[in-house]
Amino acid sequence: MFEILKNFETKYGTLKKKGLRIEGLSMIDPKRKKHVILISKPFMFDNRQLPKSYEGLDIKAKIEGSLPKEFVIFQKEALKKEYLWAPNKFEKYVDRCSEEIRAQFGNPKMTRKEMLDALAFGNFEEHKKKSVQMMKEGRIPPFKMN
């Protein structure tokens, strides 16, 4: 398993310049002995550059640093009433800060869709569908669609 981590670091280590931190292996399910590769990254990171899994291990990412105002939840109680990663929050942020996002990613011709994909875990439409499904199942708080 450490060989897989080493290969991952070799392949994706160049992303460290963009804020990626490879934290190592983590066991998320002791009963099934399920391990993941644990990483951290800033919010403003192009997630399209990372796979969802690598050589059979899922990639578990956490955001380090501050979040844009669209994502800030001021009280812990509000987390039960508000979904932090609601699709409309990504849309509002991209609409408000598109020039800043283009500059950060070094791509002045980046489209709205590309920005949404980059920020929303690699595929915005997939994230949106998954979020709506989880909302219907009652697993996350309801959110408004644009």
Please give the order of strands across the beta sheet that includes 34-42.
21-29, 34-42, 57-64, 53-54
**pTM confidence score:** 0.87
pLDDT in tens, 35-92: 999 999 999 999 999 999 999 999 999 999 999 999 988 776 665 788 999 999 999 9
Query: In the numeric block, which tokens belong to residue 102?
Result: 């283009």
Query: In the numeric block, which tokens belong to residue 143?
Result: 């959110």
Q: What local confidence, expressed as pLDDT, does residue 79 receive?
A: 59
Q: What local confidence, expressed as pLDDT, does residue 48 receive?
A: 97
Q: In a 3-state reduction of DSSP, which class is residue 27?
A: strand
Q: What local confidence, expressed as pLDDT, does residue 146 receive?
A: 65
AA identity, residue 144: K
What is the residue extent of each domain of the chain?
A: 2-64, 76-136
CB 131 within 8 A of CB 140: yes
